[in-house]
Structure 1
Amino acid sequence: MTHIVSRLLQPNEYQLEVLEIIKKQGFDDQRIEYFGDWEIRNARFSLQMNKEITFLKCLLQQCDFSDLDTVAHSLYESNVIDSNFTKSRFRKSWFESCVFENTDFSDTKFVNCHFKKVVFKNVSFDHTDLSDSSFRNCDLSQINLDTTLMWGAHFIDCILSDRFLSFPGGKWQKGPNGEVFVVSNPER
């Protein structure tokens, strides 16, 4: 059963409107463009979410985003725990000041996505495509990226494991703000 609760002392007018929409239509109603200050548990987000959606200061726990195909989603100052993003596709999406814990991104494609100040704890990136995405001030030390495609990905001021630093095609380059670890595709 889906559980959604405002994290504010009193739900604001917009939150009350969103709750009413969810009761009638579910999470996939086209009028919902913003989730701010929510605790959302056991929710299924549809693969039909082709519009911009922003999550701000949310707790998303045991949520299912599998098979999602979306453009320009944003997730800010939020925690995502025990959730599933398998076989999803994100394009031009932003993830900032977030924690992903016990979350599965297997077979997911991130196209030109940006991660800033993101922590990944016990996260699966098996057969995930991170090509042309950028990571700044992220903690990637606890994840295995052996089967991850990363051509053109940039890692700036990130915490990386020693195993990660030996990734084929990866090298340190001088950037405008210091050293950048870049994974290059020799075929491009």
Structure 2
Amino acid sequence: MNNFFCDITYNGDDFKTHKLPKGDYENCTFANCNFKEGFIDNINFIECTFQECDLTNVNCTATIFNQVTFIGCKMIGIDFSTCNPMFLNLGFTNCNLTLANFNALELPKTNFKDCTLDQVDFSETQLKGSNIENCQLKNTVFYNTKLDSCNFNNSTYLLIDPDQNSIKKTKFNIDQLPGLLKKHDIVVAY
């Protein structure tokens, strides 16, 4: 039987030096905690919030993230494709997700607001209806990605091939057109 932790706030804890106990965490808040290069594998997070935490290269194999919000977190290199896809529901605001991997995940209506998404892998990912607003997308990989009805307003360094991705009813700014037409070697004048 799993340990159960409910309505607990963890503030400034270093989970790299002492591992977070395995169990079910419901409605918990993790503020200013260090998980860098640590292990949160096989843990269930339900309706939890991570604020200003360092989760760089954390191992989240078989972890359940159900209605989990990350705010102002450093999350470089996280391989979300290894987490448990059941009930997967995430939200990100002002996070650095450089080099993260979301390959082949079902993430409809996911919020990525004011995030750095450089070199993130969204190949084969289902992001229909997601908000990817005011994000930096340098060398982000979109291949066979479902982006229908997404919002990319004010995101920069956008490079998406409409022939290799589904983008029906997706919102783009006019200055993002070159990133949609790059493979055609067309010059868009403003």
Do the structures match in fold with TM over 0.5?
yes
Verify: 1:53 aligned to 2:48, yes or no: yes
Distance 2:104 2:166 in 1: 20
CA drift of 1:37 comes to 0.5
Select which of 56, 74, 77 maps to 1:79: 74
* Corresponding position: 1:135 with 2:135: no
Q: How far off its partner does 1:67 sit?
A: 4.0
**Within 1, Cα distance between the matches of 2:52 and 2:19?**
24
Unaligned runs of 5+ residues in structure 2 are 1-7, 177-190
Matching of residues 140-179 of structure 1 within 5 Å: 140-164=137-161, 167-170=165-168
The number of aligned residues is 164
Identical-pair percentage = 16
Deviation at 1:74? 0.5
The DSSP-based 3-state class of the residue aligned with 2:101 is coil
Q: Which runs of 5+ in 1 are unaligned?
A: 1-12, 182-188
Q: 1:87 touches 1:106 (CA, 8 Å); kept in 2?
A: no
SS of equivalent residue, structure 1 residue 38 = coil
Query: Which of 20, 25, 28 is matched with 1:30 structurally?
Result: 25
Q: Does 1:118 align with 2:111?
A: no
Q: CA RMSD in A?
A: 3.5
> More strand per residue: 1 or 2?
1
Q: Are the structure 2 counterparts of residues 111 and 23 from structure 1 closer, same or farther at C-alpha, using a change threshold of 3 Å?
A: same
Asked if 1:39 is matched to 2:37, the reply is no
| TM-score for the superposition, normalised by structure 2 | 0.68
Q: 1:48 offset after TM fit, Å?
A: 5.2
